Amino acid sequence: LADAKRHMAELDEHLRRRMRQLAWKQWKTCKRRQQRLKQLGVSDYWAIRAGGASQGPWRMSKSPPLHHALSNRYWHKVGLVSFSQQYQLRRT
């Protein structure tokens, strides 16, 4: 229990990365990936570079353009609950 805060933060990180991976897989085509990245605020240059990348979804989930598009703020806005925030609320 002493380091549960750290474990919750690690769990949050892993969950968000997995969610970015799933989003990348759902977008399927290069064109659709570029469109979605642009819609989410990524510059044209980075959307084109990332959208046409040949790396797999897990590796792309760690890329800066995907981090910018699907940031912590984005996940909070769409309603994803943070384990570490919930842990802090329960402890106090």
27-50 tens-digit pLDDT = 999 999 999 999 999 999 999 999
What confidence category does residue 18 fall into, taking pLDDT thresholds of 50, 70 and 90?
very high
Decide: helix, strand or coil at residue 31: helix
Return the pLDDT at 91. Answer: 79
Mean pLDDT of 6-27: 94
Q: What's the Cα-to-Cα distance from 70 to each of 18, 30, 60, 86, rounded to whole Å?
A: 11, 17, 12, 21
CA dihedral 75, 81, 83, 86 (to 10 degrees): 130
42: how many CB neighbours lie within 10 A of its CB? Answer: 23
Contact present, 76 and 1 (Cβ < 8 Å): no
pLDDT at position 6, please?
Answer: 87
